[in-house]
Amino acid sequence: MIDRSVQAETISQSVVVTGDGNRVSLRFGDTGIILPLKRKQFRPPERRRRLAPDERPRELDLLVPEAGKLPFLGREDILAELRAWLDDEADISVHAVIGRAGTGKTRLALEFVGGVESDPARKGQWIAGFISPGDLSPVVETLATHNFAWERPTLLVIDYAAQCHSAMARWLDRLAYQTLDTRLRFLLLDREAPENFGWWHDLTSPSLNDQRARLDLFYAPRPTKLRGLSEVEDRRRVMAAALEAACALRPPPPPAPIIPAVGQDANFDIRLADRQFGNPLALVMAGVIARERGPRRALELCRLDAARYLGRRELDRLAALAGSRGLGGDTMRYIVAFNCLAGGLPLAGLRKTLADELVASQRTADIDVLAELIQQELPVDAGRPLEQRRLATIQPDLLGEAAIIEAFSGQPSKEAEAPAAVRRAYAINPEMAAQAVVRLVQDFGYAVEDKSATEGEKATGQRVTDWLLTLAHTIKDPVQMSPLVAALPLETTVLREAGVELTERLAAFFRQEAEGNNDPNAISNAAGWMNNLAVRLSACRLDEQPRR
């Protein structure tokens, strides 16, 4: 363990917090760095426009954790672990929580952050909130070359941590040689964290000696895995809360549906105890769908079918809204899906981007009307710097992915245009599109390797997997391909061979680039890709063993 008090440099600048309510800013001395901190535990005032008399309300708001429409239930064990970490005597500490889509990572973090800082006026002991990965990367070089004093205990949550792990590593390398007079906590959230490669491995297994000091900052060697709700009565309460909220949003004709009490409907109880309904998002979707289909029929839909049901309804809502503005419903469905594929279209040049994509997809629309409507329904985050502002995507992610599939389903012509749309979305922003497409395959491509999946699920899984593989094989530039290959999961068997093939290409390229080069970053990059390749090859060999 290093002596951080000896090696820390003299600190002459402080981190100053400005603003209040839902959003504040961290100002880092006189460096000019202003890092937005979203205090999502404090919901902003409702500013949605008034709905037209015949317009359907946006039911997906019930599924978004930040909206705070549903109570937080269970998870007391992990909350206790997080509170113990918060109170640990270390001045700087990093912890992580991982879990598949819909397990409640963001909702857990919101509950935790709300308990840490509950005063919108910032009069409490702690400052706590969420940092966007996109906000951290552009300023990390300044953060990594200065020391700062933190005036108050601070908790920073970073969702989608894999997207900024390189920047995070640079910042931690600096913090490792600094001693603070208060506590600084980083809570990292993501879906998975493979042990031998990827974002967590890069953070906790640095290849250079001068980076090893940051290991002392980690609270645990591995992230905490967030599992499903095991108690059936917790599941019942979650589904009941979602149904109640859905009925309040759109009152159904009487009699209003209710969730059966324990023992009242044996078939319902058996279905509720099924493993897939340990996923909180699956329960919330079932509760929303139960408003129309009834509780038992709602549980007949598996998690992905429920996502597609609601994704289709959201596209129908947006198409109807587009029709009221003189736009084609098909055009609206397509643009919404394309925006999801791109991880959010940049606000800068939005009209040109929309016009180019309409031409490429052989569609027409009034660009001004389309741009106004898409920004109304998928509003940009006005708190981010202008050059970083992007359209929102349909949330939660699983519903956005379902909307993509629905937009490219139903007709052979729609299915045929998907691969080209994926390529064009990737060209706009490789990093964001890579994450979007890989999440899509993780959630819907599973059926290709699941013997219990239906033929329809397998067909959908194969389609989205083919989108990714086609994209990978059309990219010739190794640097442009890097974000996609880095995002490929190790666990998804159907992508393992492709992952090996693509990683081999990148490892060979970066190894050649590093040969005869004394740049430690080039050497470290090449070593990282070689390690990535070794891990993928090992995973393939392990996967083949049971088949022999």
DSSP string, 461-490: HHHHHHHHHHHHHH---HHHHHHHHHH--S
Is the residue at 311 inside a domain?
Answer: no
Q: Which residues contact 399 (CB under 8 A, 6 or more apart)?
A: 60, 63, 307, 310, 311, 314
Give me the number of domains the chain comprises: 4
Is the residue at 310 inside a domain?
Answer: no
DSSP state, residue 138? G
Residue that terminates a domain, selected from 225, 257, 286? 225
Residue 141: what pLDDT?
A: 82
Is the residue at 307 inside a domain?
Answer: no
Is the residue at 509 inside a domain?
Answer: yes
Residues 252, 195 share a domain = no
Is the residue at 371 inside a domain?
Answer: yes
Q: From CA 85, how far away is CA 97, in angstroms rounded?
A: 12
- Please provide the DSSP assignment of 339-403 as one string: HHHTTS-BSTTHHHHHHHHHHHTT----HHHHHHHHHHHS---TTS-GGG-B----SSHHHHHHH
> H or E segment at 413?
helix 412-428
DSSP state, residue 102? T
Residue 460: what pLDDT?
A: 93
Residues 265, 118 share a domain = no
Q: How many CA atoms lie within 13 Å of 62's alpha carbon, on the beta-carbon side?
A: 29
Is the residue at 244 inside a domain?
Answer: yes
92-98/23-28 β-pairing: unpaired
Q: Helix, strand or coil for residue 219?
A: coil
Q: From CA 117, how far away is CA 17, in angstroms rounded?
A: 14
Q: From CA 494, how far away is CA 133, in angstroms rounded?
A: 29
Residue 99: what pLDDT?
A: 92
Residue 48: what pLDDT?
A: 56
Residues 509, 466 share a domain = no
Backbone φ and ψ of 436, nearest 5°:
-65, -45
CB 425 within 8 A of CB 342: yes
Q: Which residues contact 185 (CB under 8 A, 6 or more apart)?
A: 85, 86, 92, 93, 94, 95, 153, 154, 155, 156
Omega of the bond prior to 280 within 30 degrees of 0, cis?
A: no
What number of residues does the chain have? 548
Is the residue at 252 inside a domain?
Answer: yes
CB 518 within 8 A of CB 537: no
CB 22 within 8 A of CB 38: yes
Residues 455, 331 share a domain = yes
Residues 349, 271 share a domain = no
CB 225 within 8 A of CB 188: no
Backbone φ and ψ of 155, nearest 5°:
-115, 120
Q: Could you list the pLDDT tens digit for every one of the 548 residues in the chain?
A: 454 443 434 445 888 888 877 778 888 988 888 888 989 888 766 655 566 666 778 888 899 888 888 888 888 999 999 999 999 999 999 999 999 888 999 999 999 999 999 888 778 889 999 998 888 877 888 888 888 899 899 999 999 998 888 889 989 998 998 899 999 999 999 998 888 777 898 899 876 666 778 999 999 999 999 998 999 999 999 999 999 999 999 999 989 999 999 999 999 999 999 999 999 999 999 999 999 999 999 999 999 999 999 999 999 999 999 999 999 999 999 999 999 999 999 999 999 999 999 999 999 999 999 999 999 999 987 767 778 899 999 999 999 999 999 999 989 999 999 999 999 999 999 999 999 999 999 899 877 877 778 888 899 999 999 999 999 989 988 888 888 888 887 666 667 777 888 888 888 888 888 887 778 778 877 888 887 788 778 766 655 544 33
Residues 216, 80 share a domain = yes
Query: Residue 354's CB: how many other CB atoms inside 10 A?
Result: 21
Residues 394, 440 share a domain = yes
Residues 419, 355 share a domain = yes
Name the one residue in this structure whose structure tokens are 């309040």.
248
Q: From CA 382, how far away is CA 390, in angstroms rounded?
A: 9
Q: From CA 167, how far away is CA 160, in angstroms rounded?
A: 13
Residues 210, 130 share a domain = yes
Closest by CA position to 385, among listed 39, 162, 155, 134? 134
Q: Helix, strand or coil for residue 156?
A: strand
Residue that terminates a domain, selected from 441, 465, 489? 489
CB 85 within 8 A of CB 177: no
Residue 109: what pLDDT?
A: 95
Q: Is the dihedral of CA 403, 409, 411, 415 positive or negative?
A: positive
CB 445 within 8 A of CB 461: yes
Q: How many angstroms separate the first and last alpha carbons of the chain?
A: 46
Q: Which residues contact 384 (CB under 8 A, 6 or more apart)?
A: 36, 132, 134, 135
Q: From CA 232, how far away is CA 272, in angstroms rounded?
A: 7
The residue type found at 481 is: M
Residues 498, 462 share a domain = no
Angle at 115 between CA 113 and CA 117, to 5 degrees: 70
- Report how far Cα 317 is from the mean position of its chain's Cα atoms: 24
The residue type found at 327 is: L
Q: From CA 236, how far away is CA 279, in angstroms rounded?
A: 12
Residue 465 has which token pair? 């997997």
Residue that terminates a domain, selected from 225, 257, 277? 225
Strand runs (DSSP E) across 13-53, as ranges?
14-18, 23-28, 34-38
Range of the domain at 285: 232-301
Is the residue at 533 inside a domain?
Answer: yes
Residues 505, 471 share a domain = no
> H or E segment at 154?
strand 154-158
Closest by CA position to 469, among listed 509, 431, 496? 496
Q: From CA 382, how far away is CA 392, in angstroms rounded?
A: 11
Residues 501, 426 share a domain = no
Residue 6: what pLDDT?
A: 37
